Structure 1
Amino acid sequence: MALLIILGSLAILLLVIGLLLNIGVKKDNDGQGHVTYPKGYWLVRGIALGILLGVPLGIVLGIATGNIGLGIALGPAMGLALGSAIGSVLERKHKENLRPLTEEEKRAQRILVVFTISLLVLGVTALFTMFYLFGMM
């Protein structure tokens, strides 16, 4: 039964990936002219999609193996790897529609990276502090 659930989940995942790789760029006839995207746009979208698909897959694998914690831990990691592959394929598919980042976009990207890392460090620190304080009780 567990093997059937895993194989069904993988089949659905492969079907969704196949459909998403056929997504095209906006056509020129919609009044916008030639549409360009900043470099890395498709990679980020692929990673987001991969994590979105990886988390439920990890939970299904965790339930099937009887170790839900392992499934929750491995799901985002599998999704990140899968999303990177999807994103790089989409980047290559749309390479004629990519443009270099502007200075404003580079600045915003640096600020976002610093903010995200700071938030991650703060969250991990708060989590370990809570575990430490609850462990003392």
Structure 2
Amino acid sequence: MALLLILGFISVLVLLTVIMLGIGVKKNSDVDQSSVIYPKGYWLGRGIALGLLLGVPLGLGAGILTGNLGLGIALGPVFGMGFGSAIGSIFEKKHKNHIRELTEEEKRLQRTLLVFTISFLILGVTVLFALFYLYSRM
């Protein structure tokens, strides 16, 4: 068990090192794209996507290693989003000279997607609790 934890920790360190090296290579190629303007929140979204990409498998691995898969499934995306938000915020500050404000159409689309996402989450949680309630009554 301890050997698996050590191997998991080493693999996470190697993965983070590869990502940081990739960011360094990308930084050198960004010099050529100095005229590109990104919408506000672009880098934050990319950071969150990267964090989820890392957090979900690490959470599943941690859940399998600890024998509590549900906890791993729950905590992996949470830690991934936190880590990704931090990375995205750093990138937003780094590229602040190449960020533009959102257009009215983009703001409208963002509000629509936010309402849809919140409604979908509320519906999903309601259905999940209803299923658990009905299952417990059987």
Which bin holds the TM-score, normalised by the shorter protein?
0.7 to 0.9
Gaps of at least 5 residues in structure 2 are: none
Q: Does residue 122 of the first structure (1) align with residue 127 of the second (2)? A: no
Show the counterpart of 2:136. 135
Question: Percent of aligned pairs with the same residue?
Answer: 59
CA distance in 2 between counterparts of 1:134 and 1:124 reads 15
Q: Does residue 27 of the first structure (1) align with residue 5 of the second (2)? A: no
Distance 1:127 1:86, change over 3 A: same
Distance 1:26 1:41, change over 3 A: farther
Q: Deviations over 1:1-40 (max 9, x none)?
A: 2222331232133124313433344834xxxx92111111
Q: RMSD over aligned Cα, in angstroms?
A: 1.8
Give the 3-state SS of the residue equivalent to 2:36 in structure 1.
coil
Contact 1:5/1:64 (8 A) holds in 2: no
Give the 3-state SS of the residue equivalent to 1:34 in structure 2.
coil
Amino acid at match of 1:131: F
The structure whose residues are more often helix, as a share, is: 2
Q: Deviations over 1:67-107 (max 9, x none)?
A: 11111111001101110111011112211110011111111
Give the 3-state SS of the residue equivalent to 1:101 in structure 2.
coil
CA distance in 1 between counterparts of 2:18 and 2:61 reads 16
Amino acid at match of 2:104: E
Aligned length: 133
CA distance in 1 between counterparts of 2:22 and 2:86 reads 13
Q: 1:6-85 counterparts in 2 under 5 A?
A: 6-22=8-24, 23-24=26-27, 25=30, 27-28=32-33, 34-85=35-86
Q: State the TM-score, normalized to the length of structure 2.
A: 0.86
Contact 1:21/1:90 (8 A) holds in 2: no
